[in-house]
Structure 1
Amino acid sequence: MRINLSPQLRDDSLTVSVSGDVLTVNGEAFDFTPLPEGATLPHDAVDSEWFAGPVSRIGGQIGVTLLLPYKNGNASSNVTFPEPIVTTGDGPVSLPVDLNNQEVGADGAD
């Protein structure tokens, strides 16, 4: 799955996981298994505020664009200009973290 991110200054958070062609966004599962090769679902066909564009299947890979919330108006460029994420397996998706707003020790390191 290819996940493009569209940064947006807002106070909520985003969690994403993948299982095959099922994308779970903040606990809500979206099953794109029926989407045939070469097809595109328009943005308004997916009932979620987190999708910021159409969903497509190209070369067997599902492509989506999700909003990426960030809380700091001076967020680091890895959040404000994120690289696309290409998943290679099932499980939680690691989203970019604002390096300008990280707490020391928040990830288990000091």
Structure 2
Amino acid sequence: MKICLSPSRRDDALAVVKAGDVLTINGAAFDFSMLPDGATIPNGAIPCEWIIGPVERLAGRLHLTLILPHGANPSPAVAFPVALHHPPDGELALPFDPPPAETPIVEEPANVDG
């Protein structure tokens, strides 16, 4: 399997679990095991907003592209992700940026004249 990643500015999250030719994307399972070699599922034919472009099986290997959501200032690893070649079964290790640490609000003491 080869999964290309297409970065996109989005505030939602993506979680993908692979089990053979089945991808579970944010809880919805998509089984590509019946796609024969040389066949293509055209762009838009799969009811999943995360899969963009066609899904193909070439030389026995599944090829597809997923949207990779990112925040306003993505790191280079997220903005320019490398494709996942032969990812193992389980949750995919997608590049991501941790949320920014919140800066504590420091309140000024009240000015009491006295």
Code of the residue aligned with 2:74 in structure 1: it is A
**Alpha-carbon distance between aligned partners in 1 of 2:70 and 2:51, rounded to the nearest angstrom:** 16
**Alpha-carbon distance between aligned partners in 2 of 1:8 and 1:50, rounded to the nearest angstrom:** 10
Contact 1:5/1:68 (8 A) holds in 2? yes
Q: CA deviation at 1:88?
A: 4.0
1:28 maps to what in 2?
Answer: 28
2:68 maps to what in 1?
Answer: 68
More helix by share: 1
Contact 1:87/1:93 (8 A) holds in 2? no
1:95 maps to what in 2?
Answer: 94
Identity of aligned residues (%): 49
Unpaired runs of at least 5, structure 1: 104-110
Return closer, same or farther for 1:35/1:11 CA change in 2, 3 Å cut-off.
same
How many positions carry a matched residue from both structures?
101
Of the two, which has the highest radius of gyration?
A: 2
Code of the residue aligned with 1:25 in structure 2: it is I
2:105 maps to what in 1?
Answer: none
Code of the residue aligned with 2:80 in structure 1: it is F
Code of the residue aligned with 2:57 in structure 1: it is R
Contact 2:78/2:96 (8 A) holds in 1? yes
Q: Tell me the alpha carbon deviations over residues 19-69 of structure 1, each in whole angstroms, 9 at most, x when there is no partner.
A: 111011101100001100011110111011111111000121111101000
Q: Look up the SS of the partner of 1:69 in the other structure.
A: strand
Q: CA deviation at 1:76?
A: 0.8
1:106 maps to what in 2?
Answer: none
Contact 2:22/2:33 (8 A) holds in 1? yes
Aligned-residue CA RMSD (Å)? 1.5
